[in-house]
Amino acid sequence: MSLDAAVAIDGETRSRVAFSDAALAMILQLREQHGPLMFHQSGGCCDGSSPMCYPAGDFITGDSDVLLGVFDLSAEGAAAERADAGGHDPDRIEFWMSREQFQYWSHTHLTVDIVKGRGSGFSLEAPEGMRFLIRSDLLTSFD
């Protein structure tokens, strides 16, 4: 079981990214601790190729990034009482990927999962002794 993101790419009707149940449990815990969240998947070396979880707005996205999906957590547990100072909704998590990395993974559906282990110090789950990772499935169509 997993939670699929809403479609965010124009012309597509199928979700490109999901959270596994285990990842979702960690995300809800991190939201409780840190407030609204966001994800970014870069194509960098080492842990830069892992999905990174940040407080919403802490990683600046731009033209070099693609919004793959938006998760609605409103049915997944108690949300923070209100948006943070930056106006970020605690029930909304955007999942971004660098445009360059998207070129390589454009034919896959991604599932964000979590495993024990130490990932990057930049991602919010690292102090918990856990790390997010991507599991991918090849797809032939997103329409």
Domain ranges across the chain: 2-138
Asked whether 134 and 18 are in contact (CB, 8 A), the reply is no
- pLDDT, tens digit only, all 143 positions of the chain: 689 999 999 999 999 999 999 999 999 999 999 999 999 997 765 545 789 999 999 999 999 999 999 999 987 765 555 567 678 899 999 999 999 999 988 899 999 999 998 766 689 999 999 999 999 998 866 55
Contact partners, residue 64, CB within 8 Å, separation at least 6: 98, 99, 100
Distance CA 139, CA 12 (A): 13
User: What does pTM read for this prediction?
Assistant: 0.89
